[in-house]
Chain A
Amino acid sequence: MSIFVIKRSVRLVPVLAILAWLALSSVASAQDRKATLTMSVPEAVPAGSRMELVATLTEKDGAPIVGEIIDFAMSVEFMSNSGEIHIGSGMTDSSGVARIEYTPKAEGEHYVSARSSELSEVSAFSEVEMTVTAGPQLYGELSPIRVPGANVWMTSAVLFAVWSIFVLISLRISQIARIGERERGSSDA
């Protein structure tokens, strides 16, 4: 009984091997379907500001590819390690455009990449360089209330006003001295 089962299983091995080869080759042929992916990002963007990353997926003849998932990533370096960090995914619309919103936080030159999903039929990759600049202030402008002028300049203006009054008082002191001198002069005369 057991010898019969083993013989039948051995006969099935080539069949299974052929099926596996067919499955793998079909996947390989899907990844081999080359497409064009173009990215558009601003050349320079200030750290902390929200921006849009846009990638357009088209066939070689320029026809848009609809409904494909595009993964966006950014090159990062930490200590002696470097690699890519996934920053979001978007699906291509009727124009073949996938877009995500992103807020860069680290200053410097960064490579932003977009690639078609690993499960997709098409294979496409694009990478662009983007400069993230840090302005004079690194904090996020997240205040729920915006009072016009309530900033560093207003603080400086208040301080300036107080010191101006101190100067004014000092001038009053010199005025007292002048009055005294005049009175002394007139009494001497």
Chain B
Amino acid sequence: MTSYNESVEDRILAPLTGSSRPFWIWVGALIAIILWGVVVYVMQAREGLIVTGMRDRIMWGLYVTLFVMFIGASMAGTFVSAVLRLTGVSWRGPIVRSAEMITVAALVVAALFIFFDMGRPERALNIVIFGRWESPLIWDVYGLATYLAGSLLYLYLASIPDIAMIRDLVPGSQRLRSALYRAYAVNWTGSVEQRRVLFSALGLMAIIMVPVAVMMHTVTSWIFGMTLREPWNSPMFGIFFVGGAIYSGVGLIVIMMFIVKRVYRLNDLITEDHFLKLGYLLATFAALMVFFNVSEFVTLGYKTSTDASFYIMQMTRGSMAPVFWIYIWAGLILPIVLIALPWTRNIRGVVVASILANGGMLLERYFIVVGGLKVPLNPYEPASYFPTWIEWSLMLAGVAVFVLIITALAKALPIVAIWELREEQHEIESTARVAEGSA
């Protein structure tokens, strides 16, 4: 399935042993964007949320949209990785590590956007001290903490053999680095007994992380779904959010895989086959999302309560219509077409479909949050919202933090799980030997 050899291993390990000039320029640019974000955030903290486009009626905007977006992105990693591991998929090797990194980075940034959305961030601890267990907001806080802890543990657990390999490569002169890798390698020798314990722990983690990931996204949907407000007041929200999270998450893995393939020159390891398999998964979830949307709009539209009518009109012909129709056509239908047509069913086609999927899902989360709040609860004119430059700046800074975390993780750990590739290679060779013997 994968063409693995020592040359590939060298290319994967190269960024861990040295840093090129473009790397530092890249990191410098990301830090500059983050510093700009810090300046803007200080301005927002000093002036209050009045500097944003949010007001009393539309009190959630771009920050909450991005929170939901990054929670969705986090679904990619641990969930996809756990499912691939549990089902014993042989082509998972080049995918799982970067997917797990996406989860950790996305969860940290998701939490960051909640802080951006707080008018009084110094009172954040009150959520833990005075938070009521009956509130879905509190479920989300504990859900996020649990998912982040589990994802970190899962990433670390699956990295132990690779950390041990780097431990043996790092020269003793680099004392701090050497000491850190030695500590995190937990005396890994790769013996049969250690492998047995590691595989059992990995299996258990993979089993527990699937329901934890589903729980995380369902609970996030309940922040909206348990509010008595059209269109949030829907039992479908949990399924909608989980489906959407897998859809955008798979798209993000494809984008990440494409970047890794290009940057690390892993053309022989990450093949078109990997992209197509993830592409089929992407198209399946795009079709499911189309079904969910049709189901929701037909059900709401048939009954036509006052609020639902307003919402549907707003989405299809009103102020949110451009966002809605771009989401439907470019975010859902076009990715399916790109993967379905033989002449676009290739790496480029799948990558474009993934970019469209993520763009579409960002729009979807925007109209869920803002479009939902635009529906008036009393007979008054609907409120309006548009993000200010402060919100756009913090969005940019949040994305920069996300990319910087992945860059840092890729600098500390191999972006592709080398030990899993070796396992795959070993299995392929064993199978070939058995086949030769029987012949």
Contact = CB atoms under 8 A, between A and B. Distances in A.
Interface of A: 137, 139, 152, 155-156, 159, 162-163, 165-166, 168-170, 172-181, 183-184
Contacts of B153: 166, 169-170
A162 B143 CA distance: 10
A175 B197 contact: yes
Contacts of A139: 134
Given A176-B194, A179-B194, A183-B191, 9 more contacts: A169-B153, A169-B201, A169-B204, A169-B205, A172-B198, A176-B186, A176-B198, A179-B191, A179-B197
A185 to B, nearest CB: 10
Contacts, number: 67
A162 B205 CA distance: 10
B197 A159 contact: no
Contacts of A168: 204
Interface residues of B, number: 26
Interface of B: 133-134, 139, 142, 146, 149-150, 153, 156-157, 160, 186-189, 191, 193-194, 197-198, 200-201, 204-205, 208, 212
Among A137, A139, A176, A184, the one with the most B-chain Cβ atoms within 10 Å of its Cβ is A176
A26 to B, nearest CB: 51
7 contacts: A139-B134, A162-B146, A169-B157, A169-B201, A176-B186, A179-B193, A184-B187
A186 to B, nearest CB: 11
Q: Is the interface of A mostly helix, strand, loop or mixed?
A: helix
Contacts of B187: 176-181, 183-184
A173 to B, nearest CB: 6
B323 to A, nearest CB: 35
A170 B188 CA distance: 15
B186 A180 contact: yes
A152 B134 contact: yes
A179 B134 CA distance: 44
Contacts of A178: 187
Given A162-B150, A180-B194, A184-B187, A173 B134 contact: no
